[in-house]
Protein backbone atom coordinates (compact mmCIF):
# COMPACT_ATOMS: atom_id res chain seq x y z
CA UNK A 1 0.00 0.00 0.00
CA UNK A 2 1.43 3.38 -0.93
CA UNK A 3 1.20 6.72 0.93
CA UNK A 4 -1.71 8.05 -1.12
CA UNK A 5 -3.76 4.91 -0.51
CA UNK A 6 -3.06 5.04 3.22
CA UNK A 7 -3.96 8.76 3.37
CA UNK A 8 -7.26 8.07 1.59
CA UNK A 9 -8.13 5.16 3.91
CA UNK A 10 -7.40 7.24 7.01
CA UNK A 11 -9.43 10.19 5.69
CA UNK A 12 -12.37 7.91 4.81
CA UNK A 13 -12.27 6.27 8.24
CA UNK A 14 -12.26 9.67 9.93
CA UNK A 15 -15.12 10.92 7.72
CA UNK A 16 -17.24 7.87 8.57
CA UNK A 17 -16.53 8.19 12.30
CA UNK A 18 -17.11 11.97 12.55
CA UNK A 19 -20.27 11.93 10.44
CA UNK A 20 -21.75 8.66 11.70
CA UNK A 21 -21.80 7.30 8.14
CA UNK A 22 -20.55 3.69 8.07
CA UNK A 23 -21.53 3.46 4.38
CA UNK A 24 -20.95 6.83 2.67
CA UNK A 25 -22.51 7.48 -0.72
CA UNK A 26 -20.34 7.78 -3.84
CA UNK A 27 -21.05 11.52 -3.79
CA UNK A 28 -19.60 11.71 -0.28
CA UNK A 29 -16.56 9.71 -1.40
CA UNK A 30 -16.04 12.12 -4.31
CA UNK A 31 -16.39 15.10 -1.95
CA UNK A 32 -13.75 13.60 0.32
CA UNK A 33 -11.42 12.99 -2.62
CA UNK A 34 -11.84 16.60 -3.76
CA UNK A 35 -11.18 17.76 -0.19
CA UNK A 36 -7.92 15.76 -0.24
CA UNK A 37 -6.88 17.63 -3.38
CA UNK A 38 -7.67 15.16 -6.16
CA UNK A 39 -8.53 16.85 -9.45
CA UNK A 40 -9.22 15.56 -12.94
CA UNK A 41 -6.19 16.58 -14.98
CA UNK A 42 -6.44 14.30 -17.99
CA UNK A 43 -9.19 12.82 -20.14
CA UNK A 44 -10.70 9.57 -19.01
CA UNK A 45 -8.56 6.64 -20.08
CA UNK A 46 -8.43 2.91 -19.60
CA UNK A 47 -8.75 1.92 -15.95
CA UNK A 48 -5.96 -0.21 -14.54
CA UNK A 49 -5.55 -1.37 -10.98
CA UNK A 50 -2.69 0.11 -9.01
CA UNK A 51 0.50 -1.90 -8.63
CA UNK A 52 0.28 -4.72 -6.15
CA UNK A 53 -3.46 -5.17 -6.62
CA UNK A 54 -3.48 -6.65 -10.11
CA UNK A 55 -5.16 -10.01 -10.41
CA UNK A 56 -3.48 -12.82 -12.30
CA UNK A 57 -4.69 -13.38 -15.86
CA UNK A 58 -7.49 -15.87 -16.25
CA UNK A 59 -6.51 -19.22 -17.63
CA UNK A 60 -8.69 -20.54 -20.45
CA UNK A 61 -10.94 -23.42 -19.54
CA UNK A 62 -9.75 -26.77 -20.85
CA UNK A 63 -11.84 -28.37 -23.57
CA UNK A 64 -13.42 -31.70 -22.65
CA UNK A 65 -11.50 -34.73 -23.88
CA UNK A 66 -12.60 -36.08 -27.27
CA UNK A 67 -13.21 -39.81 -27.74
CA UNK A 68 -10.38 -41.69 -29.46
CA UNK A 69 -12.42 -42.21 -32.64
CA UNK A 70 -13.35 -38.51 -32.98
CA UNK A 71 -10.60 -37.94 -35.56
CA UNK A 72 -11.65 -40.92 -37.73
CA UNK A 73 -14.55 -39.11 -39.42
CA UNK A 74 -15.04 -35.68 -40.86
CA UNK A 75 -17.70 -33.68 -39.01
CA UNK A 76 -21.04 -33.41 -40.87
CA UNK A 77 -21.54 -30.27 -42.93
CA UNK A 78 -24.67 -28.14 -43.15
CA UNK A 79 -25.48 -29.73 -46.55
CA UNK A 80 -25.68 -33.26 -45.15
Contacts of 38 (CB under 8 A, 6+ apart): none
pLDDT digits (tens, 9 = 90+) for 6-43: 999 999 999 999 999 999 999 999 999 999 999 888 78
- What is the pTM assigned to this prediction? 0.52
pLDDT digits (tens, 9 = 90+) for 38-64: 988 878 888 777 766 555 556 666 555
SS3 content of the chain, % helix, strand, coil (to 5): 40, 0, 60
Query: Does the CA dihedral 20-23-27-32 come out positive or negative?
Result: positive
The answer to whether the CB of 29 falls within 8 A of the CB of 12 is yes
Q: Rounded to whole angstroms, how far apart are CA atoms 80 and 78?
A: 6
Amino acid sequence: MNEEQLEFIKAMDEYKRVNGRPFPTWTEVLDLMLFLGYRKVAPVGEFKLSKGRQTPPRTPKQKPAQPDNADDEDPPTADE
